[in-house]
Amino acid sequence: MSDDRETDTASESSYQLSRHKKSLSSLTNLSSSSGMTSLSSVSGSVMSVYSGDFGNLEVKGNIQFAIEYVELLKELHVFVAQCKDLAAADVKKQRSDPYVKAYLLPDKGKMGKKKTLVVKKTLNPVYNEILRYKIEKQILKTQKLNLSVWHRDTFKRNSFLGEVELDLETWDWDNKQNKQLRWYPLKRKTAPVALEAENRGEMKLALQYVPEPVPGKKLPTTGEVHIWVKECLDLPLLRGSHLNSFVKCTILPDTSRKSRQKTRAVGKTTNPIFNHTMVYDGFRPEDLTEACVELTVWDHYKLTNQFLGGLRIGFGTGKSYGTEVDWMDSTSEEVALWEKMVNSPNTWIEATLPLRMLLIAKISK
């Protein structure tokens, strides 16, 4: 069932972390290759334009492509022809196994990413593939097209070889020259810096750790984390003056659907008040150092959810249960809130934190 059509009833009830087969304690063997940073096609979730390996390889060479909007089909067609003089991932043999990935930014909703096939053992791959996006023209004019070239090795790890970004707002769609194939120099990665710099608004929230929800029991009990999402401030408008926002919560490393709770959607304001409390139980004291609360804010429009910004509240150690993970990346302000919560049990700790760009963890079934 698609995330967009889920009712919000699940968000009212406590999620039994301890009873779910993927409880925090059983996730100790979670490997970082489990798709935590891959694109999720489920739920119109955003994924990472930015998962993969940057900086190992130099960026050089060019890509040849053309774009056209086909009015009849209401589709953007990106014709990816070829690349030349790419950097060599295999330095000895002077070759790479490159493919091309396309995104429409900032809306990486249901349409997700598109990609070509991998062409092996070459620095001059020929693709001649058309990547199609079903999208209304007026929405397309608010997007940027990001084409990036990647080397895929035998272990399916990706290495970045360069990217090109076109601002479709200023693109002249009527100019016939613009429908011709054209060469573009590949550039180093600049996108996340620009995205990070954008103001994504803030969230006002409070957290509380309740070590023993049922006092007086002889058995060792597990605690609860309570998350009170109060309101968001100055959310960005991605589609004109409309905004219909809601907040989703996941306790990482559990990315199952059952671990997710969400608020109702609040429309027609960039300062939505939610006043929604979510309760997660099954927290042993040691889980507090390994888990992370991921709160993401979304704009719900028709059948897609568009990512606006998020928070990751935890100790930000880069590790969870002994495994290195990308999502343990809390900022100093987010870490400070978590520390205060852990050190002040049974007390609401309030903060207003800036929302930021996140690599969203893939939802597991």
In a domain, 290, yes or no: yes
In a domain, 334, yes or no: yes
pLDDT at site 188: 84
The dihedral sign for the CA sequence 167, 173, 177, 178: positive
Provide mean pLDDT across the span 315-326: 90
Domain around 236: 201-355
In a domain, 344, yes or no: yes
Query: What average pLDDT does the chain have?
Result: 79
How is the chain split among helix, strand and coil, in percent rounded to 5?
Answer: 15, 40, 45
What CATH number did the domain enclosing 262 receive? Answer: 2.60.40.150
What are the tens digits of pLDDT across the range 5-25? 332 222 222 333 333 333 343
pLDDT at 44 over 60: no
Residues 211 and 347 in one domain: yes
Share of the chain above pLDDT 90, in %: 47
Provide mean pLDDT across the span 325-330: 88
Among 47-61, 177-191, 209-223, the least confident range: 47-61
Triad 179, 131, 90: Cα angle to 5° = 105
- The position carrying tokens 């573009």 is 184
In a domain, 174, yes or no: yes
Q: Select from 156, 185, 214 the last residue of a domain.
A: 185
Residues 265 and 342 in one domain: yes
pLDDT at 156 over 70: no
In a domain, 17, yes or no: no
Residues 225 and 281 in one domain: yes
Residues 77 and 155 in one domain: yes
Provide mean pLDDT across the span 286-292: 93
What are the tens digits of pLDDT across the range 236-271? 887 667 799 999 999 999 888 878 999 999 998 999
In a domain, 192, yes or no: no
Q: Select from 154, 185, 216 the last residue of a domain.
A: 185
Confirm if 363 and 45 have CB atoms less than 8 A apart: yes
- Determine how many CB atoms are found less than 10 A away from the CB of residue 135: 18
In a domain, 29, yes or no: no
Residues 76 and 143 in one domain: yes
Residues 207 and 119 in one domain: no
The alpha carbon of residue 283 and the mean position of all alpha carbons in its chain are separated, in whole angstroms, by 25
Residues 62 and 124 in one domain: yes
Name the domain count of the chain: 2
3-state class (DSSP) for residue 61: coil
- Enumerate residues 6+ apart whose C-beta is below 8 A from 193: none
In a domain, 116, yes or no: yes
pLDDT at site 276: 96
pLDDT at site 200: 85
Q: Select from 152, 185, 218 the last residue of a domain.
A: 185
Short-list 199, 309, 306, CA closest to 244: 306
Residues 132 and 214 in one domain: no
